[in-house]
Amino acid sequence: EIAASLERLGRRLNAPFSITVHGGDRPLADLAKPIAAGVIHALRRRGIAAPDGSRVVSVDDGVLTLADGRTEPADFVVNASGLAPAPVIAGLGLPLAGDGSLHVDPWLRSTGDPAIFAAGDCIAFDGAPLPRVGVYAVRQAPVILHNMLASLEGTPLMRFEPQKHFLTIMNLGDDTGLALRAGLHWRGRLAWRLKDAIDRRFLASHRPDPTPATVPTDRPELSRSQS
Ligand SMILES: Cc1cc2nc3c(=O)[nH]c(=O)nc-3n(C[C@H](O)[C@H](O)[C@H](O)COP(=O)(O)OP(=O)(O)OC[C@H]3O[C@@H](n4cnc5c(N)ncnc54)[C@H](O)[C@@H]3O)c2cc1C
């Protein structure tokens, strides 16, 4: 997504960049093989190099070293190799999941201290880890607020029930997108327009209201959603 958008930016500035994506043995590993191959083919057709099996082992002073020992100079390096919890989590002295995230129960409480609540990318439940996507962070927000207030008031807590499927749309930087949901996929302009509309609507919902401020008295509604 970043490579595709940078390529678009270079064309728009009339200064095409030379872009290489190093994706290890299996770039876009979260996608089914034919879908990943289609995206990589589309990137290559736009002049983006995506060598097979090239894995970066270090970056020093603008020089990438690859696993096979080759080196490659770069003016600008973007590391998009995945998210890791912030180091502050490890220093809390609370139970962690294998990837260093805070281990929580379905009520978004630390399994080591029920007075500590957490949500978003920095947590892990028992079982399969949830993908680190905004849709979970956004939907956990009203649950964590409810539960923190409820724990102070001594009222029932609410379980966070993660949805099984969610819509992902990858911006391919050429006014098209790749939409994925529940094993189905769609690539084209419509996917990009949908992503743009969802993102704009979501951001607009967080812009300050120009009408005079009022103090909210109700708990937030759980119906608010992203995608
Ligand atoms: C390039 C990119 C594109 C993405 N696109 C999408 C998308 O299209 N759709 C989607 O659903 N999700 C997307 N995501 C994922 C989504 O952004 C995250 O899942 C979501 O932001 C997680 O929310 P969060 O509040 O848990 O963490 P964050 O939004 O990362 O917020 C954590 C905050 O904690 C702060 N922080 C860290 N350490 C400390 C500290 N020690 N003290 C104080 N503050 C600290 C950080 O600065 C940050 O502001 C994308 C992520 C990336 C990186």
Q: What's the one-letter identity of residue 177?
A: G
Distance 68 CA to ligand 1 centre (A): 33
Q: Which CATH number fits domain 87-164: 3.40.47.10, 3.40.50.2300, 3.50.50.60, 3.60.70.12?
A: 3.50.50.60
Nearest CA to ligand 1 atom 40: 88
pLDDT of residue 147: 98
pTM of the model: 0.80
Distance 120 CA to ligand 1 centre (A): 8
Within this chain, domains 2-82 and 87-164 share the same CATH topology: yes
Q: What CATH homologous superfamily does 2-82 map to?
A: FAD/NAD(P)-binding domain (3.50.50.60)
Q: Phi and psi at residue 103, in whole multiples of 5°?
A: -80, 120
pLDDT of residue 212: 63
pLDDT of residue 206: 86
Which atom of ligand 1 is found nearest the CA of 122?
26
The preferred substitution site among 79, 121, 123, 138 for testing ligand 1, maximizing ligand atoms within 8 Å of CB, is 121
pLDDT of residue 21: 94
From the centroid of its chain, how far is CA 122?
12
Q: Is the CB of 86 under 6 A from ligand 1?
A: yes
pLDDT of residue 76: 94
Question: Consecutive sets of 10 residues in the chain, 227 residues long: mean pLDDT of each?
Answer: 94 93 88 91 93 91 94 94 88 93 97 97 88 92 98 97 92 94 93 96 87 56 40
Q: Which residues of 66-89 are buried (b: 16+ CB within 10 A; e: fewer)?
A: beeeeeeeeeeeeeeeeeebeeeb
Nearest CA to ligand 1 atom 48: 86
Q: Are 181 and 166 in contact (CB under 8 A)?
A: yes
Q: Is the CB of 120 under 6 A from ligand 1?
A: yes
The preferred substitution site among 2, 88, 101, 132 for testing ligand 1, maximizing ligand atoms within 8 Å of CB, is 132
123: enclosing H helix or E strand: strand 123-124
pLDDT of residue 218: 53
pLDDT of residue 208: 84
Nearest CA to ligand 1 atom 24: 120
pLDDT of residue 188: 95
Domain boundaries, the chain: 2-82, 87-164, 167-207
Q: Is the CB of 134 under 6 A from ligand 1?
A: yes
Which atom of ligand 1 is found nearest the CA of 227?
11
pLDDT of residue 169: 95
